[in-house]
Amino acid sequence: MRTLVVGLTAVVLLAAASFANAASLQVQSGTLGVQVSGHPCSGTATATAATGSGTTYSAVSITVPSGCANRRLDVTLLNGSTVLRSDTATVAGSGATTVTFAGTYTATSSLTV
């Protein structure tokens, strides 16, 4: 029984020493930064099939709002969730921007740009 009391006393003393050390730890404050960004070219874009004939085309003509001039334009042509073609162009200063794909696609009403 005496051994149990001595053992429990040792555990209590070690626990008290641990809490005392933790209580004396210093905490330093830091800073938290936030970055807010908006859509660089708000508005609606329109897309039409370009460079081809019938239902076979190799490009898409994109018209975006005037504030988007000289910005990068990433275009992905989808059939449902399947990527058919994808490419990048720099938006023209005015008018439509033509994005030419490596390969052709068949224009159907199920495609999404």
Per domain, the residue ranges of the chain are 46-112
Residue 56 has a pLDDT of: 93
Q: Phi/psi zone of residue 33: left (φ > 0), alpha (ψ -120 to 50 degrees), beta?
A: beta
For 26, 27, 34, 36, the CA distances from 31, given in Å and listed in that order, are 17, 13, 10, 16
Q: Is 90 exceeded by the pLDDT of residue 86?
A: yes
pTM across the whole model = 0.60
Q: Which of 35-39, 40-44, 90-94, 102-106 has the lowest mean pLDDT?
A: 35-39
pLDDT at residue 5 in the model? 45
The predicted structure's pLDDT at residue 21: 52
98 — pLDDT class (breaks 50, 70, 90): very high
Q: Are 59 and 50 a contacting pair, CB within 8 Å? A: yes
Give tens-digit pLDDT for 11-36: 444 555 455 555 565 655 555 555 55
